[in-house]
Amino acid sequence: MSIRDTQFSESAISVRGLRKNYGNVAVLNGIDLDVPRGSVFALLGANGAGKTTMVRILSTLTPPDAGTVTVAGHDLRRDPQGVRRKISLTGQYAAVDDLLTGEENLRLMARLSHLGRADGRTRTRELLERFDLVDAGARRAGTYSGGMTRRLDLAMSLISGPDIIFLDEPTTGLDPRSRQSMWEMVRRLVDDGVTVFLTTQYLEEADRLADRVAVLHGGGVVAEGTPAELKRLVPGGHLELTLTQPSELHHVARAFGDAVLDTERLAIQVPTDGSIGQLKSLLGRIDDQSVTVDTLSLHAPDLDDVFFALTDTSNASPIRNEATAR
């Protein structure tokens, strides 16, 4: 890391006024972002929100239409090769060579990163060990399971020792166990001082991994902050009841003016801050209605609530209607 880099900014990635159009569609319409060094930044958005476009621009694959972008201290437009020397990209679809073995894939990356023979061999061995691929190293990548392929993909991204790593939907399509192990690997990257920029459509993933989260919607960043800050944007949790009789649903609803109804599922959501006192009084009032309650559950606000509150313009209530959201 040069002196200039450290002086230049504390941000690993700095984006100002970024725009990208495809035809008449403004996919990214004036994005401002700062990703602090050594942090995990999650870009959250629905399919088609422009997450992949954002990653492609930041990793020098796609030129932006307008805006200033600095990645690892290098200007994206003036010095793309400088950016490429500091970053690594793991795309949405595993970019491994299926006809090469795991080891050959890593050696190829080492060679293309100009590591030198001895270094390349050492790094390859280290990464095979670290990603639990030693036994599979001599097998063609085409024979790997989904989880193994992702691990190889990530290992290939790390061969050059990048400062910043871009992960575009790193766990899409993985089984729960592979997802967990991918999360652990991302955390280890951070321990090594790597800055991680990831996109995801899984809110839990952003919540579990990210230091900061930005929600991309309609071409812009509609909210940005720590997961805790974002959760504060929605009023709170809710108590959900499901009933057995449609007539009783409206009966209960009349008693709770601020409740949200789902007539299909016979569900009613009553806002609560989750405190024992308030819950006690709510339950008391429900009991007074003398209706048959089928199920009862308490929902703390999570990023799902934030996401839907921010992106679902048709729903006036900040609390999502679960029947349509899932």
Partner 1 sequence: MITGIRSAVDDAAAMTGRSLTRMLRTPETMIMGVALPVMLLLLFVYVFGGAMQTRTGYLDYVVPGIILLCAGFGSSQTAVSVTGDMVHGIVDRFRSMPVARSAFLFGHVVSSVARNLVTSLVVIGVAVIMGFRPTAGPMQWLGALALIALFILAISWLAAALGLVADSEEAANGFTFLLLFLPYVSSAFVPTDTMPSWLHGFAENQPVTPVIETVRGLLLGTPVGDTALPAVSWCAGIAAVGAVWAITSFTRKTAR
Between 104 and 211, name the residue whose CB sits nearer to partner 1.
104
CA dist 72 and 67 (Å) reads 17
Spatial separation of the C-alpha atoms in residues 314 and 116, rounded to whole Å: 57
Give the shortest CB-85-to-partner 1 separation in angstroms: 5
Which residues from 130-149 bind partner 1, rule CB under 8 A? Answer: 140
Token pair, residue 175, equals 């089984």
- Binds partner 1 by CB under 8 A, chosen from 34, 79, 104, 204: 104
Beta bridge partners of 267: 242, 262
Whichever of 112 and 325 has its CB closer to partner 1, that residue is 112
How many Cβ atoms are within 10 Å of 177's Cβ, its own excluded?
A: 9
Block residue for tokens 């500091």: 86
For partner 1, the closer CB: 38 or 91:
91
Cβ-based burial of 124 (10 A; exposed 0-12, middle 13-18, buried ≥19): buried
Looking at the Cβ atoms of 174 and 243, the one nearer to partner 1 is: 174
Q: In the bound complex, what is the minimum distance in angstroms from residue 83's beta carbon to partner 1?
A: 9
CB closer to partner 1 out of 56 and 217:
56
Which residue, 59 or 269, has its beta carbon nearer to partner 1? 59
Stretch in the footprint of partner 1 (CB under 8 A) among 32-40, 79-87, 176-184, 297-305: 79-87
What is the spatial distance between Cα 108 and Cα 87, in angstroms, rounded to a whole number? 17
Q: Out of 6, 10, 25, 114, name the contact with partner 1 by CB under 8 A.
A: 114
Q: Where do we find the tokens 């006192």?
A: 277
Structure tokens at 266: 């016979």
Residue 63 contacts partner 1 per CB under 8 A: yes
Evaluate whether 259 touches 253 at the Cβ level (below 8 Å): yes
Residue 160 binds partner 1, judged by CB under 8 A: yes
Single out the residue of 15, 4, 18, 16 nearest to residue 73, CA to CA. Answer: 4
The residue from 62, 181, 315, 317 that contacts partner 1 (CB under 8 A) is: 62
Residues that bind partner 1 (CB under 8 A): 22, 56, 59-63, 81, 84-85, 87-89, 91-97, 99-100, 104, 108-109, 111-114, 140, 156, 160, 166
